Each structure stands twice: as structure tokens, then as C-alpha cells.
Amino acid sequence: MVELIMILIFILCGIQLWRGKWLWLIAGYNTASKQEKATLNGKALGKAMGGILFISAALIGLISLFPEIQLMAVVVIIVLVGMMIAYINTSPRFKQ
């Protein structure tokens, strides 16, 4: 039951971020000054974060269906988030 609620929340937030809405959910984006926000590509950032949420929701669904892959799925989520943080911080795609 908890997994289903998490999946639904992740999908809802992922859809809104993918659409370029709810960018205030991204840590640091809401507190950034107008000058800092002007240098960021919010739409691309939202798509990247939405994609991570969709993949995480799918992996949580797989964990609930196949409990024996729980450790592997958690490691995949951690590695994916770490790699995405590095990509977002270094890629010119997220700068304007």
C-alpha cells in the first residue's frame, strides 16, 4: 500500500516537472535569485527530474512485485540519482 502511494506521488510530481510546472520542488531552485534562475534552463531541468521520478516509480513498482531485487533496485536508484546530479551540474544543456 505504501509503495502504491509512493508510486502515485512520484508519477504525479514527475508529470508536473516534465511539463515545466512545480519547479519549486527542486532543491535550491525556489530559493535562487532571479538572476540565477535566468541562467538556468528550467524546462530541461524539469524534464530531467521528471525522468528520474518516472524511473524511480518504475523501480519501486518492480520492488513491490519482485522483493528479491530490492537491494539491486535501491543501488540502481542511488547510482542513477548520483549520475544525474553530476550530469545536471556539468552539462551546458541546463544553462541558458
For residue 26, what pLDDT band results from cuts at 50, 70 and 90?
confident
Q: Whole-model pTM? A: 0.86
Q: How many Å apart are CA 14 and CA 46, to the nearest integer?
A: 8
Residue 69 has pLDDT above 90, yes or no: yes
* Cβ atoms of residues 50 and 17 within 8 Å: yes
pLDDT tens digits for range 30-45 = 888 889 888 889 899 9
pLDDT tens digits for range 43-68 = 999 999 999 999 999 999 999 999 99
**Cβ–Cβ contacts within 10 Å for residue 94, how many?**
18
